[in-house]
Structure 1
Amino acid sequence: MLKNYRVLKGTASALALDDDNDPHIEIRIEANGVSYRIALNVRSKESPHDLLYANIVDFKHPALTEALETLPMGLTDIRKDRPELAIDYVRGGLIEREDMNVAPFQLSGPKNDLRDFIEPIVQEGIADSDVHFYAFGEAWGPENNKPDQYFDFEPGNGIHDIHMNQGDGGSFKATNGPNQDGALLVHFNDTDEWAAIFLCFQSQNWNTDAATGHPVSDSRGGQGRGEGTRRPQPVVASSLRIVAALINPVNGEGGTEAETVTIINRSDMEASLEGWKLEDENGRTQTLSGSLSAGELRTIALDAAAGGPQLANRGGDIILRNADGAVADRVGYGKSETANEGWTTIF
């Protein structure tokens, strides 16, 4: 369990990036004349290294955000003083594993890695002191006679573990606990809008004990993005998502199964499908064509006879690749999702 579960409220004054084997985005925060540092994990020490993340640009949860607005600047002890503010990814209803995508720390191209999502918000906050940051996690300091290693203020103060803090195994198991997950919320006071960033390691299990936060099964949380039977590849930002699949259809005439995958264009613009591909866990692909209008759903029949993808009833992966061959979406499913013949699995 975390020793000092706190929420830090303040304004951003500087941004730094460390470039070691355990990289973070470092944010300097000011609160009532005291400086703090937010250390935001952007890569896992364990494989797979890319994090699961959700970047919610219009976050709405009045019970939480209205309470946060009343907090004083600086650190608030959640367990001691404000237990109702505690965040729990598994039980709190703020985020679902299926809502999270996989993203690398740093990748060439726009809007496809964690830096692209996090840095602009921080830069906006640096330019506007009416933007307030709320970082949930483990607090450290004050470290007297020890300047901060990135921003040189003294004494060193800060907050880290700004990610899910349960469902870990091995060396990180000691910090498991319910109602102590980390997150970064940002309030734009001039428009009264909120943004929220939730982070999780792919190795963390979402099936956890309500008393200890320890994993209670080998499954990391059922179907969802970032799971599957093979080691994940980075997912690039995309408006196209896999939303459903008919994995175990009722046998058609002649015993031929008609497996399907349904995709959606989430954006407000038409999206081309030319050169895009659907792929199964064994690398079998089917090339797509045409386009999707804004908000359009399309169900694609898989052509196994032509060497296209085949969805194994034992569980597996379904991958959507863009015209450049990069993974635009990936979903995993288990045997339990295929048990009922003719039922469609929703991701």
Structure 2
Amino acid sequence: MPVDDYGVWKGLPVHYEVEDRFEDPKSPHLSLYYHDNREMEPQFDRKYRQKHKNKPPNKDRPKEIPGLFRAAINIKSIDRDSRIAYWVNYNLSEHSMVQNLAKVDYGFHDLEELEGHGLDYIRSHLFDAKKGRLLRHDIDGPNNDMIDVLVPEVQESIKKQAEIYIFGSRFNTRNGIHNVHMNQGNIEKFRQDDGTFQDGGLLIHYKETGQWTGIFLAFASQAVHTDDGSGHAISSLTWGQFLPTELTENSVVIKEAVVQKRKSVTLTNLTNHKVSLASWKLHTSAGQAQELPGNAVLNPLSTGCFGVPNLRLSSNGDLITLLNEDGLKVDGVSYNSQQGNMESRPIVFAH
């Protein structure tokens, strides 16, 4: 398994610390401290923490806090392009994954316990890739770097006593978790760490309101398209190249789906030119595929409905992925069991 000891840690956030450009200009992290015992208040000694806090960095002073676990979240890449690609989804409650995730106990759960349902930035449709931001670590000005956007989300989770689900790789010491970022499509130096459905991320569940927020991070140098088996890059396009460009000029999106009886998927061409869908395919999470008709074409800014009798779209929630003629992901959506049981009514996806 490329990502050692991969899984999800369910816990309760207590405290955070973030390294700015003066404390660690090379490989800074946001450290999120948490515990996983709902019945016990953590013993958090602030005096001890102030005495041992790394300011400036000192190898003899630990980052760990007794009685708490630590999530080490990268906020800068050591690659030539040091920017981080950042996505946040405030409506993750509509994703089919969270219904099962909410049932797990506090503590760490490996991929086997999750029945292979780890995160995958490309295949799980966790966010709209086009709405990401490329952010530097720590620069002057408001709302323009990783510290500016990540800290408020973490602060809110602590303030509201939310549940957190941290996907990544457990430390060898078992006292925390790292690799809380995309773990595929890496540059050659880190290619051995590639794997599908083993991406990291931070999910926050606000139990009082039922809201689920997902925070997803990738390095600007990682590939947008990867192999389904190995997770290695199959295209030279990186997030650093993908996000700054005008993306809608090449976009076809999944607008609606009917998952019961006469199953169909409705696609919309967002571009101002005709798009041929010959050899394009629709996939489900189970790997079933439906190739679109060889004469399928969408005119500029038009919509078309396509029957998908060969797709077993689950009424319990599923993923639908649209792939182009080269097998590259064009769009993807997710729906939950409530939506899947709307008999003969289309599920409408926002874009």
Alignment TM-score > 0.5, same fold = yes
**Residue 84 of structure 1, CA deviation:** 4.6
CA distance in 2, matches of 1:141, 1:217: 33
CA distance in 2, matches of 1:128, 1:96: 26
Any idea what the Cα deviations from partners look like across 1:64-92, whole Å, max 9, x if unmatched?
A: 112121111111112x1113531111122
**Residue 111 of structure 1, CA deviation:** 2.0
Name the TM-score, length of structure 2 as normaliser: 0.58
Mapping 1:211-250, distance limit 5 Å? 211-220=229-238, 224-226=242-244, 244=248
Any idea what the Cα deviations from partners look like across 1:262-321, whole Å, max 9, x if unmatched?
A: 9xxxxxxxxxxxxxxxxxxxxxxxxxxxxxxxxxxxxxxxxxxxxxxxxxxxxxxxxxxx
Paired letter, 1:12: P
Name the TM-score, length of structure 1 as normaliser: 0.58
* Corresponding residue of 1:118: 150
Percentage of matched positions with identical amino acids: 30
SS at match of 1:85: coil
Any idea what the Cα deviations from partners look like across 1:9-47, whole Å, max 9, x if unmatched?
A: 111111112332101100001111662111111100012
CA distance in 1, matches of 2:235, 2:156: 42
Paired letter, 1:16: E
* Corresponding residue of 2:138: 106
Mapping 1:13-92, distance limit 5 Å? 13-18=14-19, 19-20=23-24, 21-32=26-37, 35-78=68-111, 80-92=112-124
Structure 1 residues 86, 245: closer, same or farther in 2, change over 3 A? closer
* Corresponding residue of 1:316: none
Paired letter, 1:185: L
Any idea what the Cα deviations from partners look like across 1:91-133, whole Å, max 9, x if unmatched?
A: 222235323111122232322222222212222232332x011
* Corresponding residue of 1:168: 186
In structure 1, runs of 5+ residues without a counterpart are 144-156, 228-241, 247-260, 263-346
Paired letter, 1:107: I
Answering whether residue 170 of structure 2 is matched by residue 139 of structure 1, we say yes
SS at match of 1:199: strand
Paired letter, 1:187: H
In structure 2, runs of 5+ residues without a counterpart are 41-66, 251-270, 273-350
CA distance in 2, matches of 1:88, 1:66: 17
CA distance in 2, matches of 1:125, 1:206: 29
**Residue 210 of structure 1, CA deviation:** 1.1
Paired letter, 2:86: Y
SS at match of 1:81: coil
Q: Which moved more, 1:55-64 or 1:12-21?
A: 55-64
Q: RMSD in angstroms over aligned alpha carbons?
A: 2.6
